[in-house]
Structures are given as structure tokens and as C-alpha cells.
Structure 1
């Protein structure tokens, strides 16, 4: 079955007042639980950028570590969910639910099929 990445960019939730974040968290967890109950949730979560660690690091083919985005203007992912659903339409329906819960648009991308990597 195809797998899809549903994600949003870092900063996409900056418009939400801080006092609303508990409600947003509860709503997004409810969608994830619904996806788990439906048997389509694979993995997901928000990415931390505010805990004092470097925002982003790139490891080159030579093993050299560079702090910061690889290319200027690179968009960082703020959060994501992966789902295993039979159709693009179903992936878009899950994205609509998580968009409403997180109060921000979601990007939907299909993973390339690789029988050596997908169970």
C-alpha cells in the first residue's frame, strides 16, 4: 500500500496564540489517534527547534558536519505524519484533518515504492 508524508513547514503555526497551543495539541493528537485506530498511522511528530540545540545540521558525504540549512532559504519541516493508505484521495483526507487540527496547511507527498524498504 502506498505511504504518504503529510507535513508542514517550521513557522506555519506562528500565527496561533500561545494560549491556544494546548487545544491545538489535543486536536492534533486526536487526529493521530484516529489514524492509529484506522490502522493507517505509521509515524509522526513535531520537530524541536527551541531547545537550545542547533536548528539544523547537514552531514556531507565526507562526514563533515555543517550547522544550519544546506542551502540558503531551505524550508525546515515543523511537523509530520506518515500514513499508509491505498489512494491519494485518502491521504488528502487525512491531511485535511491534520490541517484543521494544527491550523495550518499541509504538504502531501507520496513515498517512492521500494520493496526492499517497505514491509
Structure 2
């Protein structure tokens, strides 16, 4: 089976403050459903209170990031599914729960991972 990344940037979730608890509850219900179905690998949200670091091949650490990922935030999950069609169905469930579109990406197969 293939692993899929389903994610969204934080700014995509434009939910009124009074609806945020309901969105969290709905999202947790979908994750519990994925766990019960045996397709959940891991997931979570990027902690925006902790700045990213760049760690070079020589171990040097700097307070920066790649320009194209400077605004990487929001939530994500990785599911292991039998097909892209199944991944689209799960992404739709998550989009409904989170009230925002989800980006779907497929991990390449690596027998060593």
C-alpha cells in the first residue's frame, strides 16, 4: 500500500472563532475513523510558536529555512491506502471536517523506509 500526505496551510482554515471547537471535534472524529480503519500512520499540526531551523551537512545550525517553505504551517496527516482513489475519498472527509481544501501528495516507494 502507498502512503499519502494530506495537508493544508494554516491560512486556508478560515473558521470563525465560535466554530473552531466544532472543527477540531470533526477533524478528530475523522482521525479516529482512519485509526479504526487501520490506515492512519501519523499526523498533527506544525507548531507555529517554534521557529524552524536549518541544519547543514556539517551540523551547523542557523535560524532560517528554505524560501519555498518559509510559510509551511497548518495541519497534515499521513495515511497508508490501497489506491489514489481511496486517498481522494479520505482527503474529502478531512476537507469537510476542517472546512478547507486539502492538498494530496503521494510518497514514493522506498523498500528501506
Do the structures match in fold with TM over 0.5? Answer: yes
Q: CA deviation at 1:71?
A: 1.1
Confirm or deny that 1:43 pairs with 2:42. yes
8 Å contact from structure 1 (residues 44, 81) kept in 2: yes
Q: How far apart in 2 are the matches of 1:73 and 1:116?
A: 26
TM-score (norm 1): 0.86
Superposed CA RMSD: 1.6
8 Å contact from structure 1 (residues 10, 75) kept in 2: no
TM-score (norm 2): 0.90
Q: CA deviation at 1:73?
A: 6.5
Q: CA deviation at 1:111?
A: 0.7
1:30-69 superposed Cα distances (whole Å, 9 cap, x missing partner)? 000111111111101111113xx32x22212222222243
5+ residue gaps, structure 2, are: none
Greater helix share, structure number: 2
In terms of mean alpha carbon deviation, does 82-91 or 57-66 score higher? Answer: 57-66
1:77-116 superposed Cα distances (whole Å, 9 cap, x missing partner)? 3111111111000001100000111111111111110111
Aligned residues: 113
